[in-house]
């Protein structure tokens, strides 16, 4: 019989090896897992339970919310607010930070999440996900927005769940990256992808080509060289992928390498990028670096950005280290 290691066992054993581990963190993670199992179930049931389609509302980013954006946000909030492990929360779908209700005890962590990443994919039955990031909160304070605005290097833990053909959780606490598959029969995430490493060499890139006319010269140059294939300066042919769901793109890159770009472009100088630093770029950057990859805006390591706003957007370039470094070099040369 194969010895199966559940996510709970894995985390508890990992925590045991650390000084001053209290077990609080494993409990917090367990609550996130519970929320993600519920989301997995809902996403899987789809319109059998009437959860697809748009809600009649927009989020703080001015994007039309899907019904599931709101439902999954409520699932995350309700799974985490009572636990006593958190001092506060922030969600992509909520304008302000989310306080822990007065009647519940407060803890020493902050949870930030994108409850349903890639939600435009949900109505067409393609992959979506949940992304989360855990930060420390100074003890005994009621956190204000400024207390959330920590650099990505300060993250205690980051992870995402991909609701694809299988439901998978990918997790880092700063000791490598591990992948767990949800065993629907027993309701547990099981360690199936220990120590995930991103291949350094790749011939795959992912970018929304329809924005090409707005890209800045370094990105134009990089993609142009890829497109020239064997006859160009790279001397090899490239493939293109575009799933329009960050969790799915990142999972592919973790599995077989590649590079993903949502660069800054010339459409609107007030919006330097599209993806959110706190809910998307930081957790994915932590995972990328822990798996041997890299993550940058083109000019700056994502994890070193000092956030100015909880809903701040940034340009995002991530994936195989050599490719990200090449793109960063093109930015420096320009």
Size of the site for Mn ion (CB under 5 A): 4
Residue whose Cβ sits closest to Mn ion? 117
Task: Confirm or reject binding of residue 265 to Mn ion (CB under 5 A).
Answer: no
Choice between 249 and 289, CB closer to Mn ion: 249
Distance in Å, CB of 188 to Mn ion, minimum: 26
CB atoms within 10 A of CB 80: 22
- Which span (7-15, 117-125, 158-166, 295-303) binds Mn ion, by CB under 5 A? 117-125
Measured CA to CA, the distance from residue 310 to residue 331 in angstroms comes to 26
Among 114, 204, 265, 289, binds Mn ion (CB under 5 A): 114
Per-residue DSSP letter, 215: B
Q: Does 323 bind Mn ion (CB under 5 A)?
A: no
Residues 6+ apart with CB under 8 A from 218: 298, 327, 330, 331, 333, 334
Interface residue with Mn ion, options 33, 65, 117, 205 (CB under 5 A): 117
**What is the closest distance, in whole angstroms, from the C-beta atom of residue 8 to Mn ion in the complex?**
26
Nearer to Mn ion, 150 or 277 (CB): 277
Q: At closest approach, how far in Å is the CB of 91 from Mn ion?
A: 9
Six token digits for residue 208: 């929304």
Write out the DSSP string of 109-168: EEEEEEEEETGGGGGGT--EEEEEEEEE--TT----HHHH---GGG-SEEEEEEESSSEE
| Span near Mn ion by CB under 5 A; candidates 116-124, 175-183, 196-204, 213-221 | 116-124
Which positions from 124 through 163 interact with Mn ion, judged by CB under 5 A?
none
- Tell me the DSSP string of 217-277: HHHHHHHHHHHTGGGSTT-S--EE---S-HHHHHHHHHHH--EEEE--BSS-TT---SEEI
Contact criterion met (CB below 8 Å) for 294 and 228 = no
CB of 290 to Mn ion, least distance (A): 20
Residue range at the interface with Mn ion (CB under 5 A); choices 86-94, 229-237, 307-315, 323-331: 86-94
Q: Using CB under 5 A, list all residues that contact Mn ion.
A: 92, 114, 116-117
């Amino acid at each position: 019989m194969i010895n199966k290691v559940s996510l709970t066992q894995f985390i508890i054993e990992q925590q045991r090896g650390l000084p001053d581990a209290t077990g609080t963190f494993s409990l917090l993670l367990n609550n996130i897992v519970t929320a993600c199992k519920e989301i997995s179930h809902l996403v899987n049931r789809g319109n059998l339970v009437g959860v697809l389609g748009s809600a009649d509302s927009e989020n703080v980013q001015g994007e039309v919310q899907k019904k599931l954006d709101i439902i999954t946000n409520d699932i995350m909030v309700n799974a985490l607010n009572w636990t006593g492990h958190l001092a506060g929360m922030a969600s992509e779908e909520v304008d302000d930070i989310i306080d822990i209700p007065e009647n519940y005890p407060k803890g020493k962590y902050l949870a930030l999440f994108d409850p349903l990443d890639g939600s435009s994919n949900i109505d067409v039955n393609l992959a979506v996900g949940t992304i989360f990031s855990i930060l420390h909160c100074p003890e005994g304070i009621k956190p204000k927005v400024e207390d959330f605005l920590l650099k990505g290097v300060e993250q205690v833990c980051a992870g995402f769940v991909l609701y694809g053909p299988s439901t998978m959780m990918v997790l880092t606490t700063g000791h490598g990256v591990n992948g767990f598959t949800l065993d629907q029969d027993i309701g547990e995430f099981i360690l199936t992808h220990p120590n995930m490493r991103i291949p350094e060499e790749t011939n795959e890139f992912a970018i929304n080509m329809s924005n090409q006319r707005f890209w800045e010269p370094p990105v134009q140059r990089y993609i142009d060289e890829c497109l020239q294939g064997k006859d160009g300066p790279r001397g090899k042919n490239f493939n293109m992928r575009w799933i329009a769901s960050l969790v799915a793109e990142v999972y592919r890159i973790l599995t077989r390498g590649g590079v993903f770009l949502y660069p800054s472009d010339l459409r609107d100088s007030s919006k330097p990028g599209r993806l959110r630093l706190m809910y998307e770029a930081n957790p994915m950057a932590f995972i990328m670096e822990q798996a041997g990859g890299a993550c940058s805006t083109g000019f700056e390591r994502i994890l070193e950005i000092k956030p100015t706003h909880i809903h701040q957007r940034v340009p995002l370039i991530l994936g195989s280290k050599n490719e990200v470094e090449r793109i960063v070099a093109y930015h420096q040369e320009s």
